[in-house]
Amino acid sequence: TAHPEAFRLVMHSTHAPRPALARAAQPLIDATAVLTGPEESLEAARFVTAWLTGFISMELSGSFRLGGDVDRAFAYGLEALYEGLAR
């Protein structure tokens, strides 16, 4: 079950303490470090977060109205992210 309000709360919270944000981000930073190396892992994590946030925001607002398979588009995007980061 989707929880769109939970997504909005997480992405728009300005009150989370910095240590909590760092703990929440660490798994993604670790995952991107595998692809990019530790020196670019934060930038890569921000890139992935921005893409996911945009895609999810568009999905929640009903912006994918041109037809086609949205799940396929999501998989395509993930593959493109992976390929780009693993260069």
Residues 14-69 have pLDDT tens digits of 777 888 888 888 999 999 999 999 999 999 999 999 999 999 989 989 999 999 99
pLDDT higher than threshold 80 for residue 83: yes
Predicted TM-score of the model (pTM): 0.82
- DSSP codes of every residue in 69-85: -HHHHHHHHHHHHHHHH
- Residue 67: per-residue pLDDT: 93
Residues 6 or more apart whose Cβ sits within 8 Å of residue 79 = none
- Residue 9: per-residue pLDDT: 67
pLDDT higher than threshold 80 for residue 8: no
Residue 4: Cβ within 10 Å count? 12
- Residue 14: per-residue pLDDT: 76
Position 2, amino acid? A
- Residue 1: per-residue pLDDT: 56
Say which residue the tokens 């893409």 belong to. 51
Token pair recorded at residue 74: 């999501």
| Domain ranges across the chain | 26-85
